[in-house]
Amino acid sequence: MKRQALVTGRIGTFAPGGVPETVTAVERAEHVWVIRIWGDALNNEAMRRYREEQQQGIASARSESVSTILDSFDFGSLWGQGPQFVLQFTAVVTIIFAVLALAILQQMSNEQSGTILAAIAGYVLGHASTKTRPGSQ
């Protein structure tokens, strides 16, 4: 068998059950060589397709996740708040973390930390309820 097997697509005339005993060592070596070449070509094509589909999947997941999150998020509560909202939010979060850290390190008693957290909750809930009343800003 010649190297033309790469062109014709045929590996040879061997039966599916095995290699006949009349095949010489040179023919057997050529058949093994052709099988390896085809195997490498198939493996390379499979890896190329895998990488291509993987990149398409990553791009699709990124676009879908961002659009899904942004579509489901209600920005209505943030419109018109401006820098005052950012300052209040940052201050409340900072105070909560500081109180929790001091309570965990046992630098503040449970009663003190509970009082501060209750005051913050009251402030936030009171501020939210005054915003939702008719006639308020």
- The DSSP string of 34-72 is HHHHHHHHHHHHHHHHHHHHHHHHHHHHHHHHHHHHHHH
Rounded CA separation 66/61 (Å): 8
User: In the structure encoding, which two tokens stand for residue 59, read together?
Assistant: 């791009």
* Amino acid at position 109, single letter: S
Per-residue pLDDT of the chain (137 residues; tens, 9 = 90+): 444 444 444 455 554 555 566 767 787 788 778 888 888 888 899 999 999 999 998 888 877 776 676 666 666 666 666 677 778 888 888 999 999 899 899 898 888 988 998 998 888 888 766 665 555 55
Domain locations in the chain as residue ranges:
5-72, 75-132
pTM for this model (two decimals): 0.37
* Amino acid at position 43, single letter: N
Query: Is the distance from CB of 28 to CB of 39 less than 8 angstroms?
Result: no
